[in-house]
Structure 1
């Protein structure tokens, strides 16, 4: 058959293999995530042998199993600093040994009251990471409690106890949880920031590419001077503003219709617009220099990025942490919206805002520098 002799036809199966391979890379990020070194704050407000027992259990937990990295890593902090540390996303959770804990354990059977270890959960940081930290810390408290329970039962022997003592005997140590930066209801279980950030990238990509095709057709029809080219590029930037505003307000409106609990409609709309405009400048810059292949490049970035957007970096393979995660622009929009949704931020979201702005400025400069590309000249027919 003639088709099988065409070299271009054989590009199709090769392209399919490459595309499937790119999609499948996310299987390595999502297929069997293993938690490594999830940062946890340890707040110690008491001292004594029973406090030392908790620290010993933490030390054993921090060693890992079979030479592997531990699931949790603990760092000592002060309780007065924990809200700020949580706001800075330094920790997913904190284990607190409160004042009076040592005496509470010592006198549990006589006071008929279980001793309490507190667990603080930084839910807004990342729901997956915070839930894992919560489960692991509750497991640690249960382990400590079971050790005391076994010892107490051995000491009591056949001694009669009342119902209140029986409850303490089974659970001599219990946990008390407190949530910080809570994930509000109707925000897709904490996924709303990412779900709203992705359209900002897609809108910038599609809008930038369409405007690029429109300007390309102008360049083909007539030869422009650099001054005319600069004027045309100014039009592209203006179109970017329009596209960004359409993107931001469309996303916010659809989110409102879908029942997403947004802290502020206009705040979300303008932040998504800001991110979309900066991404548009980046797309315009790269397409101005390398043309249509840039779209493939940006699609690859998006495909690779989808596997890392909602997963804590402590649950990702090192390859994704070092070579994929730092280069995914959507992540910064997602983190900015997370600050707005769960950390009470305004339009300026700190590091994420600065990074997005940096992307936009770099994109604009690279875009403007494309004016120095060689000007196409028409060849006269002989």
Structure 2
């Protein structure tokens, strides 16, 4: 049968048929869902980060001092009470979780082990210096703040500003207290030296430990390398899965072992290529190439095993899961966990595999003592081992001796 129609009628009929399809209307819903999902992933955890319970060490070493005729005072105890209060001098909830120590060496060890974002040291002579305000030769009371910049550049900036404001508020209170003490003394006039010292009863010196050096992507080198490692592993796992899919007559065990061997080679090449490109071509500062390469090799291979295990069990349908995991994990990698909402921290950050790669690389790049690399390396190792077992178990998923969940007997699509 031959259908004759005018061009305008045919065009209208074609457009009507096009828009009558359910998939066209469904596309709007899918588009909005994608925007909402990725928007939540990219902005949901980072649009308004509010720090909570950031671990800070306080070394309360002040021995106190005697005020003639008035007994003993301990300004260190007063400062400890004010610093560790549940609220800041401005009335806001304190963002810090304090650990009070007696020795600066203990605090320094905690900074090396990434236990604290900062340490505030109240020296032994703090009260002695405060009492000297009532003498003709007053001495400034010094407080030292150690900022653990390598643990997080974002947190380091925040802690520096917050501690500065807290000390400023305490300075005002100490100034009033010192003036009251001076006025009660015989001949209560305030000398020029006393007035100068009272301008800032506490002098604060900030010292950066484990600094973020130039050419380290503003402290994000571990994050950058981890992102590249995940994407390199994703490409390797997809390609090797496709390669296994083409071997219809091969034994499944042979394919799994081949994928494992090829994945190890891919990981070794990917780790080397990352460092050569990032360090050699783009000038990223890599202090310890050997240990960084070995850890990056472990990370890439474990990522590959995890991704391959997912593909082995659910096929290429697992690719969106791996991509979404990357998009959800990407925004939170650069923030300290204390800046994340509780839901993100407990349900995503606590188990996401990127976290352990970032932690290990951070130790190698900024701390360089090997104190914090063992635990994340062990976790990555367990992730890789369990994933390898799951890959092996996928061999028995189907009974057909020539087919399996490794992709054998199925097309790459």
Q: 1:304 aligns with which of 314, 319, 328?
A: 328
Kindly state the Cα deviation for residue 255 of structure 1 after the two structures are TM-superposed.
1.5
Distance in 2 (alpha carbons) for counterparts of 1:346 and 1:151: 47
Query: Is 1:354 aligned to 2:378, yes or no?
Result: yes
Runs of 4+ in 1 over 6 A off after TM superposition: 64-68
Query: Is 1:45 aligned to 2:61, yes or no?
Result: yes
In structure 1, runs of 5+ residues without a counterpart are: none
Distance in 2 (alpha carbons) for counterparts of 1:373 and 1:152: 78
Conservation of the 8 A alpha-carbon contact between 1:42 and 1:76: yes
Conservation of the 8 A alpha-carbon contact between 1:118 and 1:176: yes
Conservation of the 8 A alpha-carbon contact between 2:233 and 2:300: yes
Kindly state the Cα deviation for residue 148 of structure 1 after the two structures are TM-superposed.
2.5
Distance in 1 (alpha carbons) for counterparts of 2:322 and 2:357: 16
Question: Helix, strand or coil for the counterpart of 2:151?
Answer: coil
Kindly state the Cα deviation for residue 45 of structure 1 after the two structures are TM-superposed.
0.8
TM-score (ref. length: structure 2): 0.82
Query: Is 1:208 aligned to 2:237, yes or no?
Result: yes
Conservation of the 8 A alpha-carbon contact between 1:104 and 1:114: yes
Report the number of matched residues.
370
Cα RMSD over matched residues?
Answer: 2.6
Conservation of the 8 A alpha-carbon contact between 1:124 and 1:190: yes
TM-score (ref. length: structure 1): 0.89
Give the greater-gyration-radius structure (CA): 2
- After the TM superposition, which residues 235-274 of structure 1 pair with which residues of structure 2 at under 5 Å, given as runs? 235-256=258-279, 257-274=281-298
- After the TM superposition, which residues 141-220 of structure 1 pair with which residues of structure 2 at under 5 Å, given as runs? 141-152=167-178, 159=189, 161-162=191-192, 164-218=193-247
Conservation of the 8 A alpha-carbon contact between 2:55 and 2:97: yes
Conservation of the 8 A alpha-carbon contact between 2:310 and 2:318: yes
Conservation of the 8 A alpha-carbon contact between 2:295 and 2:377: no
Distance in 1 (alpha carbons) for counterparts of 2:294 and 2:196: 55
Q: 1:33 aligns with which of 49, 52, 57?
A: 49
Which residue of the partner structure matches residue 81 of structure 1?
A: 106
Kindly state the Cα deviation for residue 345 of structure 1 after the two structures are TM-superposed.
4.2
Which residue of the partner structure matches residue 143 of structure 2?
A: 117
In structure 2, runs of 5+ residues without a counterpart are: 1-15, 65-72, 404-413
Question: Helix, strand or coil for the counterpart of 2:246?
Answer: helix
Query: Is 1:104 aligned to 2:133, yes or no?
Result: no
Query: Is 1:140 aligned to 2:156, yes or no?
Result: no
Determine which structure has the larger helix proportion and give its number: 1
